[in-house]
Each structure stands twice: as structure tokens, then as C-alpha cells.
């Protein structure tokens, strides 16, 4: 039953991230969210893959999830945290001069899990087992899922 608890907890996060990661192949979604604005340090504000299309899809998915499952109040937050985590870590990676598209084990493609875990804990939830299990499963599965999506033409980058 514990695996079902993890799946129940994580599916909105995973679906949101999969939707966002497969947008990159559609050029009409490519308008950067930061509109090429540079931060005070002269570097890009956000990464090139942080787009308006991602924001739109994230909001639509969050509304969809909440509409069909209104009794699960965290669904809206889970769905939005996917994109918000991407924005936050994109900003951090630009400040640290990490090359765009670089894969950082434990952070890349799990930024949304990290952000939602912090939100989840801030809301008073203390099921650390679910959070840690979701993080570990995501870290392990990400290379396989992203390579599969790359081969299916749904991603621009292999990892």
C-alpha cells in the first residue's frame, strides 16, 4: 500500500513535469518567460527553457487537477509547484554559472519535488517517508524517462 501512497502523492507532480518537459519540441511555446531580461549581475534572469508556454500549461493543468479533484486541495499547489520549482532552480543555476541544459544529479528534473516538499512541510505535513521516497524514485526514474521521451521526439535534450 505504501507504493500506492507514493503514487497518489506524486502523480500531479510527475504529470506536470512531463507536460512541461515535452513542450520544448513545440516552437510556438518557446517565448522565454524572462523576455531575455538580464539580472543585476549581467547574466540571464532565467534559463531558455523557462517559457510562457510552460507557465500556461502549468496553470491549466493546476486548474484541471483542482476542478476534477476539488477535495484534494494540495493538487493545485502540486501542479503549480512543478513550474515554480523550475523557475526557482533556473534562477539559481544562472547565478551559479551552470551551463544551460547541464544535468546535475539530484537537482536537475527534481527541482519541482524539492520545492513542493518544502511547501508540504511548511503546511505542517510531516510524512517524510513519502517525500524522501518520491524524491528517490524521481531521481532514479528521470534518466530513463527523459531518454525515452527524447527517442520519441518529445524532448530536445537526451537528459
Q: Report d(CA 121, CA 125) in Å as an integer.
A: 5
| pLDDT tens for each residue of 74-116 | 788 887 888 888 899 999 999 999 887 788 888 888 888 888 8
Most confident of 9-23, 97-111, 115-129: 115-129
**Residue predicted with more confidence, 71 or 130:** 130
> Where are the domains positioned within the chain?
2-151
Q: What is the pLDDT of residue 57?
A: 82
Cell matching residue 148: 525515452
Distance CA 114, CA 106 (A): 10
Residue 40 confidence class, pLDDT cut points 50, 70, 90 = very high
Which cell numbers in the block locate residue 68?
476534477
pLDDT attached to residue 20: 72
Amino acid at each position: 500500500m505504501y507504493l500506492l501512497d507514493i503514487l497518489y502523492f506524486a502523480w500531479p507532480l510527475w504529470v506536470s513535469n512531463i507536460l512541461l518537459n515535452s513542450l520544448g519540441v513545440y516552437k510556438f511555446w518557446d517565448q522565454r518567460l524572462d523576455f531575455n531580461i538580464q539580472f543585476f549581475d549581467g547574466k540571464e534572469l532565467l534559463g531558455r527553457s523557462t517559457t510562457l508556454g510552460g507557465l500556461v500549461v502549468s496553470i491549466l493543468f493546476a486548474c484541471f487537477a483542482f476542478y476534477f479533484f476539488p477535495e484534494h486541495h494540495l493538487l493545485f499547489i502540486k501542479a503549480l509547484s512543478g513550474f515554480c520549482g523550475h523557475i526557482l532552480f533556473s534562477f539559481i543555476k544562472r547565478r551559479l554559472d551552470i551551463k544551460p541544459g547541464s544535468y546535475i544529479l539530484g537537482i536537475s528534473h527534481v527541482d519541482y519535488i524539492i520545492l513542493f516538499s518544502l511547501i508540504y512541510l511548511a503546511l505542517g505535513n510531516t510524512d517524510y517517508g513519502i517525500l524522501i521516497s518520491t524524491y528517490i524514485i524521481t531521481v532514479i526514474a528521470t534518466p530513463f524517462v527523459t531518454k525515452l521521451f527524447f527517442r520519441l521526439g518529445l524532448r530536445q535534450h537526451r537528459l
